Structure 1
Amino acid sequence: MTSDALANLVKIRKLKVEASSLREFDGLVRSALERATDAQNSSLTLASRFTLAYDASHALALAALRAHGYRSEDRYLVFQCLPHTLGWTADQWRILDYCHKKRNLAEYEGHLDVDDPLVMELISVVNMLQQQVPALRTRIV
């Protein structure tokens, strides 16, 4: 993980340095876990499952960024920082970027185009985040 990349994002005002808190971190993780559980409920619509999984992924990625002492005003940036907060490869976080674009189309243009394989892939990525992010709690003092 390269903190230099995160520091560079501060220099260009894409990130802000802000002390993390256990309360915020725990709240983000708890919220994400609840949403991730609900996203696996096959009785919900595909759109609802997508939204729940996306929101869970965002909360976990934000928790990872906050554990490193940074905050972003841009939703997409928390996903792009995963190589620096969790050591993820581009292949691992790009699905989240793709889902972010899908989410924005739904949110701002009222058009959500998702299918079952995409939702299942997103849930799989959320599961990976769930396995890694809680360990970052030890970074917070």
Structure 2
Amino acid sequence: AQLSFSSRFDLAYNAAHGIALTALRLCGYRSDRRYLVFQSLIHTAGTDKVQVRLFALCHERRNLAEYEGYMDEDEALLQGLISSTQHLLERVKGLKSQT
């Protein structure tokens, strides 16, 4: 909570991406496209479409910040990202135990 919004968002987004990438690799796939890693979550981790859409929205916001220098502070979005990332982590842990 003591970090800036942009730092907290960046950390949460990168955690979500890393976990989603892990799910993809556990299923035997690879991708160098960040967006595809999130889109494939329905198939790789059994994530629902609402969470995939949230990750996609965060990806769009991340790109705006990264390439355009614009970051709109949205605490509700950040909390949703953190919650969805924690849920995704639990699903991927389940995938890991199955392998």
Q: Distance in 2 between matches of 1:75 and 1:50?
A: 16
* Aligned with 1:88 (options 47, 52, 65): 47
2:61 maps to 102
| Contact kept in structure 1, 2:47 and 2:88, CA below 8 Å | no
Q: Over residues 100-122 of structure 1, what are the superposed CA-to-partner deviations in whole Å (9 max), with x where a residue is unaligned?
A: 00000111111111311111111
Structure 2: 5+ residue stretches without partners: none
TM-score by length of 2: 0.94
Q: Distance in 2 between matches of 1:71 and 1:113?
A: 31
Say how many residue pairs are matched. 99
1:119 maps to 78
Aligned-CA RMSD value: 1.1
Larger radius of gyration: 1
Change (3 A) 1:126 1:135: same
1:35 maps to none
TM-score by length of 1: 0.67
Say which SS state the counterpart of residue 72 (structure 1) adopts.
coil
The structural deviation recorded for 1:61 is 0.3
Give every structure 1 segment of 4 or more consecutive aligned residues whose post-TM-superposition deviation is greater than 2 Å.
Answer: none
More strand by share: 1
Say which SS state the counterpart of residue 30 (structure 2) adopts.
strand
